[in-house]
């Protein structure tokens, strides 16, 4: 033991209702993900054994898909514990489970993974276009002038006109 004690990591310390709620939510989500993971993987293991399936590539693909499902599931649970968003990881998790199931019926199910770069490309293009076509503050004032500022400008213009008449 190095002698450094972190009071936030001690059992029973530092956690309030928020920490307990996060822990409860992460446990519930972990159980849901685990059930989905186990159901899909048990199907993906049982079906090839029933058909006496001996394709090495299929087993290697199954191992890779299982690894991706496991890692994305653990990242989701850790994100919930830490209070971060996990929407994209959940999408990858579900996509991976769907590809696992469909790969039992088709050798081309892995093509669904092309959804991921497609979504990244779509979001990148949207972000770029919104940045390029965002009007500047001057353009926004021309299109939608502020009523209070417009009144001030009109008042200043009338004042300048009165001063011209007086001279």
Question: How many folded domains does the chain comprise?
Answer: 1
54 assigned to some structural domain: yes
Report if residue 12 sits inside a domain: yes
Please report where in the chains the tokens 């890779």 appear, as a residue: 64
The closest of 79, 106, 110, 74 to 93, measured between CA atoms, is: 74
* Local mean pLDDT, 10-residue blocks, the chain (167 residues): 43 60 81 88 80 71 86 88 87 91 86 93 94 77 71 84 73
Residues of the domain holding 41: 7-114
Q: Is residue 46 part of a domain?
A: yes
- 48 part of a folded domain: yes
CA atoms within 13 A on the CB side of 136: 2
Question: Does residue 158 fall inside a structural domain?
Answer: no
Residue 53: inside a domain, yes or no?
A: yes
Distance CA 167, CA 160 (A): 11
Q: What is the 8-class DSSP label of residue 71?
A: H
Looking at residue 127, its pLDDT comes to 94
DSSP letter at 146 equals -
Asked if residue 161 belongs to a domain, the reply is no
Give the pLDDT confidence score for residue 166 in this predicted structure. Answer: 62
**Residue 74, in any domain of the structure:** yes
């Amino acid at each position: 033991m190095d002698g450094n004690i972190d009071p936030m990591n001690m059992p029973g310390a530092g956690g309030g209702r928020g920490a307990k709620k996060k822990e409860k939510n992460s446990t519930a989500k972990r159980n849901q993900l685990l059930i989905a993971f186990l159901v899909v993987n048990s199907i993906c293991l049982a079906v090839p054994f029933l058909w006496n399936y001996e394709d090495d590539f299929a087993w290697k693909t199954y191992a890779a898909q299982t690894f991706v499902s496991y890692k994305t599931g653990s990242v989701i649970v850790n994100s919930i514990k830490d209070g971060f968003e996990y929407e994209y990881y959940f999408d990858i998790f579900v996509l991976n489970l769907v590809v696992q199931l469909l790969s039992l019926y088709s050798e081309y199910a892995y093509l669904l993974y092309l959804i991921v770069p497609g979504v990244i490309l779509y979001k990148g293009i949207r972000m770029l276009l919104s940045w390029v076509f965002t009007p500047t503050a001057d353009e926004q004032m021309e299109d939608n002038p502020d009523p209070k500022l417009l009144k001030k400008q009109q008042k200043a213009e009338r004042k300048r006109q009165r001063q011209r008449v007086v001279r």
